[in-house]
């Protein structure tokens, strides 16, 4: 973990539609008692004052001055410039609000704002799954290291972030990795989020169980029904997660075709991974058929389930061998196995987002210092 022993402190915020939770991180650890305040989502002046009060209350708990403020905030937004656009779940924000500039003026320190999906991926890449998997590869004696990660979040919506060589890929309009707008594998007339979200799981369960949507249980309960721990329509529960997994597997395949790395899944629905993985892996390991009738894998790489110990070992070991350099007595190590890894967050989504915010801020501060 790059900044695990860093002494600098960064103020953070978990911004929800109902509550704002403020905290501070140093050395990849929370170092204060979190402060939770109502968001006042419908009143801009009250909402902005809440943000000021929350960061002030956290700062007062610190023994040293913070180095930066870094947090996730809903979009649309011009994240590099700290400007928040018209938000659905925080309706007070309309017309472009320079939130970053306001906080920089008040606290006199750099302010970094990003999308939660981006920061989730960044946290997994710098302080979560990517260093974990590379440490295992080192212990295995394999010189290969993975540097690219896509983090996917499954919850109210379907989000993602892309990290390449410790750099977060934002795009030219702060709109990179908007995976929710990928095409839906099962219903091509709509987008992927309609098949990968809380409402998607509930919709399919209600349809299969032939119940009113208002009477539909939440995904956590549907999962419990699916594994036989709660009474209900088990067939409907299994089908709800199967359909979501098919759409998810297709979406991940499209993204990894471009990024060629590891995919780590988080968010509330990720807790149902035992019901998601079978159909997800089947979709990713499926085939295309050419017009001439030739069948070939949809992905050029082998897809490894990192939640399975045998497949994890295969992923870590690869097909490493020593090959002779022509015309010399020297050899070179060669790992001939092209593979992708699919895993689920080990540190938790909220923690990954906080770690992403912290690491993003310090990375930016160090780059400015180097310049």
Give, in order, the Cα–Cα distances in Å from 249 to each of 48, 62, 204: 40, 44, 17
Q: What is the pLDDT of residues 175-202, one digit of tens each?
A: 999 999 999 999 999 999 999 999 999 9
> Domain check: are 337 and 362 in the same one?
no
Q: What is the pLDDT of residues 243-270, one digit of tens each?
A: 999 999 999 999 999 999 999 999 999 9
> Within this chain, do residues 210 and 334 fall inside the same structural domain, yes or no?
yes
Residue 177: name the closest of 163, 195, 166 by CA.
163
Q: Is residue 120 part of a domain?
A: no
Is 122 within the bounds of a domain? Answer: no
366: three-class secondary structure by DSSP: helix
Please enumerate in sequence order all residues whose Cβ is within 8 A of that of 343, keeping only pairs 6 or more positions apart, or say none.
Answer: 129, 133, 262, 263, 264, 265, 306, 307
Both 102 and 181 in a single domain? no
Please tell me whether residues 264 and 150 are part of one structural domain.
Answer: yes
Question: What is the spatial distance between Cα 45 and Cα 48, in angstroms, rounded to a whole number?
Answer: 5
Q: Provide the residue range defining the domain that includes 71.
A: 9-114+355-370
Q: What is the CATH number of the domain that holds 260?
A: 3.30.420.40
Tell whether 219 and 297 lie within a shared domain.
yes
| Residue whose tokens read 């098949």 | 195
Do 360 and 336 share a domain, yes or no? no
Q: Residue 252 has which token pair?
A: 């991940």
**32: closest CA among 7, 52, 14, 59?**
59
Residue 2 lies in a domain: no
Give how many domains the chain has, as a whole number: 2
- Do 278 and 159 belong to one domain? yes
28/138 same-domain check: no
225 with 324, same domain: the answer is: yes
Residue 359 located in a structural domain: yes
Asked if 165 and 197 sit in the same domain, the reply is yes
pLDDT of residue 363: 92
| SS3 category, 190 | coil
Same domain? 108 vs 157: no
**Whether residue 149 sits in one domain with residue 182:** yes
Whole-number pLDDT of residue 277: 98
Q: Which of 351, 267, 347 is nearest to 23 (CA)?
A: 351
Q: Residue 3: inside a domain, yes or no? A: no
What pLDDT is attached to residue 370? 61
Segments of the chain with pLDDT less than 50: 371
Residue 37 counted as domain residue: yes
In a domain, 119, yes or no: no
C-alpha torsion sign, points 78, 79, 81, 82: positive
Structural domain contains residue 261: yes
């Amino acid at each position: 973990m790059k900044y695990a022993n860093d002494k600098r402190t960064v103020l953070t915020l978990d911004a929800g539609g109902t509550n704002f939770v403020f905290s501070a991180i140093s050395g990849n650890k929370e170092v204060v008692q979190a402060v939770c305040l109502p968001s006042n989502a419908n009143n801009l002046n009250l909402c902005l004052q809440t943000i000021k009060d929350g960061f002030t209350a956290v700062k007062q708990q610190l023994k040293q001055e913070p180095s930066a403020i870094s947090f996730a905030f809903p979009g649309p937004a011009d994240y590099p410039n700290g400007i928040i656009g018209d938000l659905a779940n925080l309706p007070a924000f309309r017309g472009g609000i320079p939130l970053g500039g306001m906080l920089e003026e008040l606290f006199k320190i750099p302010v970094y704002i990003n999308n939660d999906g981006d920061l989730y991926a960044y946290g997994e890449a710098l302080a979560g799954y990517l260093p974990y998997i590379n440490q295992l590869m080192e212990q295995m004696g394999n010189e290969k290291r993975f540097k690219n990660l896509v983090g996917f979040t499954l919850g109210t919506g379907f989000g993602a972030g892309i990290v390449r060589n410790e750099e977060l890929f934002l795009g030219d309009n702060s709109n990179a990795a908007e995976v929710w707008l990928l095409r839906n594998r099962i219903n091509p007339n709509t987008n992927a989020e309609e098949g990968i979200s809380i409402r998607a799981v509930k919709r399919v369960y209600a349809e299969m169980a032939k119940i009113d949507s208002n009477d539909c249980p939440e995904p956590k309960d549907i999962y419990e029904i699916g594994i036989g721990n709660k009474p209900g329509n088990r067939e409907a529960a299994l089908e709800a997660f199967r359909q979501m997994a098919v759409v998810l597997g297709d979406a991940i395949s499209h993204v990894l075709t471009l990024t060629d790395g590891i995919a780590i899944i988080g968010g509330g629905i990720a807790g149902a991974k035992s019901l998601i993985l079978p159909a997800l892996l089947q979709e990713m390991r499926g085939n295309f058929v050419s017009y001439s009738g030739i069948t070939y894998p949809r992905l050029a790489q082998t897809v490894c389930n990192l939640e399975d110990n045998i497949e994890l070992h295969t992923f870590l070991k690869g097909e490493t061998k020593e090959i002779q350099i022509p015309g010399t007595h020297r050899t070179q190590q060669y790992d001939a196995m092209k593979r992708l890894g699919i895993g689920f967050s080990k540190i938790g989504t909220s923690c990954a987002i906080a770690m992403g915010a912290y690491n993003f801020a310090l990375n930016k501060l160090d780059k400015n210092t180097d310049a």
